[in-house]
Amino acid sequence: MENQPVPFRKTLFVCTNSREGGERPSCAGGGRGGLELLESLKALVKARGLKGKVRVARSGCLDLCEKGPNAFLYPGGEWLCGLKASDAEAIVERLAKDL
């Protein structure tokens, strides 16, 4: 095992879990918008020249589905919930300020 420093200053993990059957909601299922949020965040990070500093990564289930779409910021330990694709601009703006 090789230990390396974290290559990004911030990583935002966005839940893109989609669950079949409707038994429980999921962040990217049933029109809730987790995948659209992820794509919006990635595009904005790239457009603002933050690629290489900020990483937006897809995540599996973060287990707070009813509050989703959810995202988790590392480092910082912030949990963002109830997100929409329209929140992407404000999220990226906030990430850029913290760099």
Which domains can be identified in the chain, with CATH numbers? Answer: 15-97 (3.40.30.10)
Do residues 90 and 37 touch, judged by C-beta distance below 8 A? Answer: no
* The pLDDT value given to residue 23: 80
* The pLDDT value given to residue 95: 94
Per residue in 37-69, pLDDT (tens digit) is 999 999 999 999 999 999 999 999 999 989 999
Which residues touch 88 (CB under 8 Å, ≥6 apart)? 37, 40, 41, 44
**Stated pTM of the model:** 0.92
Do residues 56 and 14 touch, judged by C-beta distance below 8 A? Answer: yes
Confidence class for position 98, pLDDT limits 50, 70, 90: confident
Per residue in 8-40, pLDDT (tens digit) is 999 999 999 998 776 889 999 988 999 999 999
Residue labelled with tokens 């990226």 = 92
Do residues 67 and 81 touch, judged by C-beta distance below 8 A? Answer: yes
